């Protein structure tokens, strides 16, 4: 009798162990135990993230970090396919592609969002954010929030604001030291009324053109200059086809990381949480490394090219800022008095020249 009970106990224990092993093997194979939070994660979600710059740029690196973290956090259930260098769409096409839902995520320069809401022009005002701290403060504070919220009416989900850095001026007809040196220069700018006005005020002929056409137009001398960050000047080799570079730090270039809103709304709460967390990490990294990256690449340009570099002195910067002051008045009603005065207050508290 005793041995019968013994055998029965061994059999019951064996059964319990195999059920336990089976359950855990399934988990290890990736089948998650049921829990409301996990609903919908069984099917892989693919998010195409298209942008126009190179991978070795602040935007390129932040996009890669974001993709990696989403992949890790979702155990591969959400895949972010990053397509750099305008491989899918040019900067002029990508906004419409996002609205159609042909691509799910993009990170255009904030300048390019002024067609959605003229408020975005506040970030383009010359010398509005004179230091890196002032840029971070504007993007992380009220100014950034107001701008991201303005997208809601356009069926776009604003996820974050990323930094590239300060814009500089390159030309084949330099040096550019005083604003008058830009007179009659034929420059590529991002399509923007503020930037147009800025260069009209100094008598330059500025044209809004696609970013990825710039190198060719500079090389063929159809254009003789452009304004951009060191990171874009370096990664797209503009310095190879330009004779002069002026470190003016006269404007800001950064990005709105945005998603098609309908696509966002169809994600589960858990998928949205993963994307938000990964985006916050990528944004923190972007804010830590973008300025240093621009500085390192300026060093590389200085060491490895024959371009002449002029750093504007404080006195020269004051001269440029004064020439461009009328831009603020011209865009007061477009930007809105409240937002403009927040920006002017920020500018004046950080102005270092």
Query: Residue numbers of the site for ligand LMR (CB under 6 A)?
Result: 52-53, 91, 109, 164, 190, 211, 228, 232, 253
Closer CB to ligand LMR, residue 124 or residue 261? 124
Phi, psi torsion values for 73, nearest 5 degrees: -70, -25
Closer CB to ligand LMR, residue 77 or residue 290? 290
CB of 28 to ligand LMR, least distance (A): 42
CB of 307 to ligand LMR, least distance (A): 18
Closer CB to ligand LMR, residue 63 or residue 253? 253
| Residues contacting 294, CB < 8 A, separation 6+ | 58, 164, 165, 166, 229, 230, 231
Closer CB to ligand LMR, residue 53 or residue 241? 53
CB of 225 to ligand LMR, least distance (A): 13
**Whose CA is closest to 144, among 114, 123, 116?**
123
CA-CA distance, 103 to 209, in Å (whole number)?
22
CB of 158 to ligand LMR, least distance (A): 17
Closer CB to ligand LMR, residue 170 or residue 271? 170
Specify the pairing of strand 156-171 against strand 225-229: antiparallel
Q: What angle do CA 51, 335, 192 make, to 5 degrees?
A: 45
CB of 258 to ligand LMR, least distance (A): 13
């Amino acid at each position: 009798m005793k041995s019968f009970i013994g055998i029965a106990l061994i059999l019951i224990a064996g059964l319990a162990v195999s059920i336990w092993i089976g359950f855990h093997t399934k988990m290890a194979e990736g089948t998650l135990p049921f829990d409301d939070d996990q609903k919908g994660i069984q099917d892989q979600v693919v998010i195409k993230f298209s942008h126009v710059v190179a991978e070795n740029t602040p935007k390129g690196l932040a996009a890669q970090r974001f993709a990696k973290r989403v992949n890790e956090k979702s155990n591969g259930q959400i895949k972010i396919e990053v397509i750099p260098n305008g491989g899918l769409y040019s900067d002029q096409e990508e906004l419409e592609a996002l609205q159609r839902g042909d691509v799910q995520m993009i990170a255009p320069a904030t300048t390019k969002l002024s067609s959605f809401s003229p408020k975005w022009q506040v970030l383009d005002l010359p010398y509005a954010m004179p230091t890196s701290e002032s840029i971070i403060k504007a993007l992380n504070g009220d100014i950034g929030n107001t701008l991201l919220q303005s997208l809601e009416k356009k069926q776009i989900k604003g996820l974050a604001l990323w930094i590239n850095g300060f814009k500089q001026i390159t030309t084949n007809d330099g040096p550019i030291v005083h604003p008058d040196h830009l007179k009659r220069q034929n420059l590529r700018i991002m399509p923007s009324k503020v930037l147009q006005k800025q260069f009209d005020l100094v008598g330059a002929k500025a044209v809004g053109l696609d970013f990825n056409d710039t190198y060719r137009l500079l090389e063929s001398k159809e254009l003789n200059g452009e304004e951009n960050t060191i990171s874009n000047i370096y990664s797209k080799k503009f310095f190879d086809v330009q004779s002069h570079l002026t470190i003016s730090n006269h404007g800001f270039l950064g990005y709105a990381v945005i998603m098609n809103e309908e696509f966002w709304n169809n994600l589960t709460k858990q998928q949205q949480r993963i994307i938000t967390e990964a985006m916050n990490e990528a944004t923190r990294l972007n804010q830590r490394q973008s300025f240093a990256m621009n500085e390192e690449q300026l060093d590389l340009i200085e060491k490895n090219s024959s371009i002449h570099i002029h750093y504007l002195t404080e006195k020269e910067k004051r001269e440029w800022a004064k020439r461009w002051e009328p831009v603020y008045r011209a865009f007061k009603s477009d930007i809105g008095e409240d937002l403009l005065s927040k920006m002017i207050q920020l500018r004046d508290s950080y102005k270092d020249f």
